[in-house]
Amino acid sequence: MKHSDRFDSYGYSEGKTGTDQMVEFTHPTDVSAGQVKSFLQANIRTINIPTANQINVGHGAYCKYSRYEITQHDYAGGMMGYIELLEIKNPPDNRCGIVINEYTSDNNSMFTEWETLEDARTTFNKYWGSRNINLLKLTGFKRQVVYEALTPWFYAIGNEELFGDYAFPKNMQDDPVYRLGHKFVVFGNNGWPAVKTCMGTRLKKEKQLYHPHEEYEYRTVYWDDGSVWEENNTFGKIPPRPLEQGEMWITETIQQFKQLLAGKSTEFSINFTNGDKFVGKLVKEKKNFICAEGDYLLVVKLRNEKEPSQGWATGFNPTQKVPDVVQYTTQRFAQDGKEVEWIQVKQRKTKKGGLKWSGVFFYLSP
């Protein structure tokens, strides 16, 4: 095999040199991105780029830069924001390159990911400007990300690092209290607390209202859900505070509850330091008791057939569309134009560690 043939199949990624210069690179599939990143950090001081490669994406009267190769296929805008269909040609680390980005001036911005450009274009042309739709029912929909006051990853520029779905400027790590990755108890406008992860902080300056020749400095803290907390707007509000070590049971409870919602379990318990115990348990309706992942031996009676038939339904996996094995079997027969009158479950072999039920994540009401 010629050396050049190794690069016929490749992936995109990003890394830092020894002086923390952010660079993007492509690598052959037989070499991991991690190997290249380690080599850059250990052996390369700087890389000089002979030409700039920034894309300027138009948004009505202004433009937005990105360090990625972006094609804006569709766009619509107004006074409150805009919506656009983007194709990112070189998304790093297997990120989705087909997105519909919706920016609003009220910090309610989001983007959705799509399987193909055709799927995204069909949705854009039919539903743009409307959020009262069931995304799960749309062909090609993958997931939705709310970024509010943060910057989505595909509009990263310069040396901004990618942190999950967001672009992360380096100077947002400089605050001594609100540090990247630290957890805080954050109180909403209704006074209810929530545990959030800090994405970083920016220091801002404004002129004094009654002394315009003087400036004051305040912090804007960004959280992992896209929301923000501004230090200059705290009247009547409780400021965030770091999550104490003794309060880690809160995050443990949230994680276990998420496991339950994802269908990984049906109950969990948390032990408090004073000896009390919290027990959370899913109480399912009787009709849904046959919803665990696994194989089922069924007796099925079909309409217009004299005798019922028996057989195994193998590889059942609960989803929102088929939450139990009865609906799963009924839908399978319906695909062949057959109608099920009744189903009896005679035996089951549930999968160890499999889904216990279909869960509720990413379910949107019609």
- SS3 label, residue 268: strand
What number does CATH give the domain 169-243?
A: 2.30.30
Rounded Cα–Cα distance for residues 136 and 84 (Å): 20
For residue 7, give Cα distances in angstroms to 11, 12, 29, 295. 9, 12, 8, 44
Give burial (CB, 10 Å; 0-12/13-18/19+) of 109.
Answer: buried
Tokens describing residue 53: 């490669």
pLDDT on residue 117? 96
Tokens describing residue 298: 């069924």
Q: Tens of pLDDT along 44-96?
A: 888 865 444 567 787 776 778 888 999 999 998 877 789 999 999 989 888 99
321: pLDDT strictly greater than 90: no
Indicate yes or no: pTM above 0.85: no
- Fill in the amino acid letter for 349: K
Query: HSE of 32 in the Cβ direction (CA atoms, 13 Å)?
Result: 3
pLDDT on residue 170? 63
Taking a C-beta distance cutoff of 8 angstroms, is the pair 168, 162 a contact?
Answer: yes
Taking a C-beta distance cutoff of 8 angstroms, is the pair 296, 345 a contact?
Answer: yes
- pLDDT tier at 364, thresholds 50, 70, 90: very low
pLDDT on residue 359? 66
Q: Tens of pLDDT along 6-21?
A: 667 778 888 888 888 8
pLDDT on residue 152? 92
Q: Which residue has the tokens 């049906």?
A: 266
pLDDT on residue 217? 81
Tokens describing residue 294: 């696994």
Taking a C-beta distance cutoff of 8 angstroms, is the pair 133, 99 a contact?
Answer: no
Backbone angles phi, psi at 285, to 5 degrees: -70, 150
Rounded Cα–Cα distance for residues 162 and 159 (Å): 10
Q: Summarize the confidence of residues 296-302 as an average pLDDT.
A: 91
Q: Tens of pLDDT along 129-149?
A: 666 678 888 899 999 998 877
Q: Which residue has the tokens 């296929």?
A: 73
Q: Tens of pLDDT along 103-127?
A: 887 767 899 999 999 999 999 998 8
- pLDDT tier at 230, thresholds 50, 70, 90: confident
Sequence-distant (6+) residues with CB within 8 A of 230 are 218, 219, 220, 221
Taking a C-beta distance cutoff of 8 angstroms, is the pair 119, 140 a contact?
Answer: yes
Taking a C-beta distance cutoff of 8 angstroms, is the pair 364, 134 a contact?
Answer: yes
- pLDDT tier at 362, thresholds 50, 70, 90: very low
pLDDT on residue 16? 87
CA 227 to chain centre: 15
The domain ranges of the chain are 7-43, 55-163, 169-243, 246-281, 286-350
Q: Tens of pLDDT along 333-358?
A: 988 888 998 988 888 888 887 777 66
3: pLDDT strictly greater than 70: no
Rounded Cα–Cα distance for residues 245 and 198 (Å): 16
Tokens describing residue 23: 């660079």
- pLDDT tier at 205, thresholds 50, 70, 90: confident
Instruction: Kindly report the average pLDDT of the chain as a whole number.
Output: 80
| Selected residue with higher pLDDT from 73 and 183 | 73
Q: Summarize the confidence of residues 247-275 as an average pLDDT.
A: 73
What is the largest distance, in Å, between two alpha-carbon atoms of the chain? 92
Give burial (CB, 10 Å; 0-12/13-18/19+) of 181.
Answer: exposed
Q: Summarize the confidence of residues 283-301 as an average pLDDT.
A: 77
